[in-house]
């Protein structure tokens, strides 16, 4: 039952937001009593914490699985972006912003974990791209990894990028293309254009 609660709560939090969803909502959606939920999670904060770690673990496993396929680095980043959007349901309620505002301790823990996995992922991606001569060899790899994470975090801020002006799918596509065009070689640019054109078909 604990796992079922975790799955349902995670879905609701990502769909409707951490602030909006109550323990009553989760109980009603599951057809169980609120007491049942409290028998597994002593309060909503504990449930939010468990749900964010559950989603983080699923995303981390997804990233590792994609990286293990050893695809070319440009395609790898597009595959990771696609997987993230599916897992995070397009983040239409900006869950990270709500998490930061209403559950700052949970957010800070999650943020550190996200940074670690994304930093290492981009480091490996850039190193591989340089070896394949599709990324420029003079790149400061650490800088690229940090600035990529910083950008991904910033574009999730609704105050900077309101969804009515910047739909999430388009924003993620635009940011990834922006990132890649700054680091590719002419060879990499051809590959990037092929991937972009195939995604538009």
- Look at residues 193, 58, 88, 87 and name the one whose alpha carbon lies nearest to residue 134: 193
| pLDDT (0 to 100) of residue 156 | 82
pLDDT tens-digit readout, 114-172: 999 999 999 999 999 999 999 999 999 999 999 999 998 888 887 888 888 988 888 99
Q: Are 184 and 136 in contact (CB under 8 A)?
A: yes
pTM to 2 decimals?
0.87
Helix (H) or strand (E) holding 127: helix 104-131
Residue-wise pLDDT tens digits, 63-77: 999 999 989 999 999
- Bridge partners of 135, per DSSP, are 184
Mean pLDDT of 169-188: 95
Picking from 124, 147, 127, the residue whose alpha carbon sits closest to that of residue 135 is 127
Q: How confident is the model at residue 89 (pLDDT cuts 50, 70, 90)?
A: low
Give the HSE-up count for residue 88: Cα atoms under 13 Å, Cβ half-sphere: 24
- CB neighbour list of residue 36: distance below 8 Å, 6 or more residues apart: 1, 5, 27
Closest to 90 (Cα-Cα) out of 8, 170, 195? 170
Residues in the chain: 201
Percentages of the chain per state (helix, strand, coil), in multiples of 5 = 75, 0, 25
Q: How many contiguous H segments (helices) and E segments (strands) does the chain have? A: 10, 0
Q: What average pLDDT does range 13-34 have in this prediction?
A: 91
From CA 143, how far away is CA 131, in angstroms rounded? 18
The domain over range 49-200 is classified in CATH as 3.40.50.80 = no
Over 60: is that where the pLDDT of 80 sits? yes
Q: What is the mean pLDDT of the chain?
A: 91
Confidence check: pLDDT of 100 > 70? yes
* Among 5, 90, 66, 82, CA closest to 41: 5
Instruction: Give yes or no for residue 1 having a pLDDT over 80.
Output: yes
Percent of the chain at pLDDT above 90?
72
């Amino acid at each position: 039952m604990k796992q079922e609660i975790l799955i349902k709560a995670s879905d609701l939090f990502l769909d409707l937001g951490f602030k909006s969803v109550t323990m009553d909502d989760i109980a009603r959606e599951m057809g169980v009593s609120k007491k049942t939920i409290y028998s597994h999670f002593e309060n909503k904060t504990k449930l939010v914490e468990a749900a964010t770690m559950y989603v983080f673990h699923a995303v981390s496993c997804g990233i590792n699985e994609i990286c293990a396929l050893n695809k070319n680095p440009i395609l790898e980043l597009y595959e990771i972006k696609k997987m993230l959007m599916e897992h995070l349901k397009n983040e239409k309620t900006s869950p990270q912003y709500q998490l930061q505002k209403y559950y700052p301790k949970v957010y800070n823990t999650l943020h550190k974990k996200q940074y670690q996995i994304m930093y290492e992922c981009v480091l490996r991606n850039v190193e591989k791209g340089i070896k394949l001569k599709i990324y420029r060899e003079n790149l400061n790899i650490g800088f690229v990894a940090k600035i990529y994470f910083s950008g991904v975090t910033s574009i999730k801020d609704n105050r900077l990028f309101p969804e009515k002006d910047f739909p999430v799918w388009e924003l993620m596509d635009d940011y990834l293309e922006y990132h890649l065009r700054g680091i590719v070689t002419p060879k990499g640019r051809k590959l990037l254009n092929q991937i972009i054109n195939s995604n538009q078909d």
